[in-house]
Amino acid sequence: MRLLIRNARILTLAGGTRPRRGAALRELGVIEHGDVLVGEGRIEAVGAKLDAPEGAEVVDAAGRVLMPGFVDCHTRACWAGERLGEWEQTLRGVPRRDILQAGGGAPGIVRAVRAETRKQLAARLKPLLDTLLREGTTTVEIKSGYGLSVAEEMKMLEAIGRASNEWPGTIVPTALLGAGFEGNLEEYARMVVKEMLPEVARVFPDIAVDAICDRDAWPVDACVRLFEKARKYHPIRVQADRFASLGMIPEAIRLVARSVDQLEAASKADLLQLAGSPAIGVILPCTGFESNQRYARAGFLVDAGGAVALATGCGPETAPTHSMPFAIALAVRRCGLSPAEAIAACTVNAAAVLDLRDRGTIEPGQRADLILLRHRDERLLAWEIGGNPVDMVICAGRKVT
């Protein structure tokens, strides 16, 4: 079935290098009144007044914005358990250490994940994935990290893979091997490098390997030991400088990390170094909104010529949201991005974080992941707070909402 979308304001984001850097993030490649022809899951043509092939379905966009589907390049959407009670305790001012001592927080999520089968974990993902799709996210990255043993981490990754087989969008798994630990950190980190990493590499040879560098997670030296081994066979990503600047950014650059995520506490010196490197800075403003109201200085990074991507950070501890439009609104208000920069950050640049070169732009040959907004001006994506701005989602060339 072929599909022709007529009379749209098209944000092609075509041309240029990937990822977009500096001022290039503001170049949306707008076609004011254009058409897009889709067939066999791909974009066939982009231009003005295209001929409708025989039998093609024609959709009149009536001047509304047509853009690439959102790519959410950082989530922890695979988890189990219930956190509402802990959340209410936090609202009442109960200290985090007291919640942890009572068995809550990440340890509680780990126990809940271990109690479920891979089939149950995959089933938990389905309603969230359907919601993501309705709100315009056609590609999503999902991390493991709540298993904390070889068998349980593999179960999480297999559950994520199972869910991907039942969803029309694209799920990209990431092996978050350096998230937490049980017992002695040194011994646990040694087990991850010697046992967990080889098993992940055997079953998921191309998967990205991630770690969280934080005072409550893994220190710099443990992350470096993991990445020195992992980078021989895997892309590496790291989450750093959320609460404090610990020195992971220079190490991530040295190790040729694909991305450095969070960055709320990053120093200007480290951001300048990041801007001059191939690594992409992934900002997660929804996590700052949920926790401490600190936000990454993404505008500074862009002005320094850096590459920035934007994600929701969706997860039980980080950000209980699936909404990329909400992330865009926060990125513009709190992180110093313009609306155009935020749009590029969650489409073409987010696709670059996941090394997906077949999406994030509207060009012939690209995968036909498209969203038609109810707006005629894309800046409304950033101006509005709340609600769903997406009228239609086209995933791999097929209308799914």
Model confidence pLDDT, tens digit, residues 124-164: 999 999 999 999 999 999 999 999 999 999 999 999 999 99
Q: Which SS3 state, helix, strand or coil, does residue 67 take?
A: strand
Element (H, E) at 42: strand 42-47
Question: Is pLDDT at 213 greater than 80 in this prediction?
Answer: yes
For residues 61 and 80, what is the distance between their CA atoms, to the nearest angstrom? 40
Q: State residue 263 phi and psi, 5-degree precision.
A: 75, 10
Q: Summarize pLDDT for 38-86 with one digit per residue, the tens.
A: 999 999 999 999 999 999 999 999 999 999 999 999 999 999 998 888 8
Q: Summarize pLDDT for 3-49 with one digit per residue, the tens.
A: 999 999 999 999 999 999 999 999 999 999 999 999 999 999 999 99
Q: Count other C-beta atoms under 10 Å from residue 51's C-beta.
A: 10
Domains with residue ranges and CATH for the chain: 3-68+359-399 (2.30.40.10), 71-353 (3.20.20.140)
pLDDT at 110: 95
Q: Summarize pLDDT for 346-370 with one digit per residue, the tens.
A: 999 999 999 999 999 999 999 999 9
More confident residue, 324 or 1: 324
pLDDT at 313: 98
Around 223, how many Cα atoms within 13 Å sit in the side-chain half-sphere?
A: 30
Helix-, strand-, coil-residue percentages of the chain, each rounded to 5: 35, 20, 40
For residues 97 and 108, what is the distance between their CA atoms, to the nearest angstrom? 13
Count of residues for the chain? 401
CA dihedral of residues 13, 338, 213, 225 (deg, nearest 10): 30
Contact assessment for residue 357 and residue 31, using Cβ atoms and an 8 Å cutoff: no
**Is the four-CA dihedral 105, 111, 115, 116 of positive or negative sign?**
positive
Element (H, E) at 347: none
User: What single DSSP character describes residue 386?
Assistant: S
For residues 114 and 131, what is the distance between their CA atoms, to the nearest angstrom? 25
CA dihedral of residues 127, 132, 135, 138 (deg, nearest 10): -130
Q: Summarize pLDDT for 160-181 with one digit per residue, the tens.
A: 999 999 999 999 999 999 999 9
Contact assessment for residue 10 and residue 31, using Cβ atoms and an 8 Å cutoff: yes
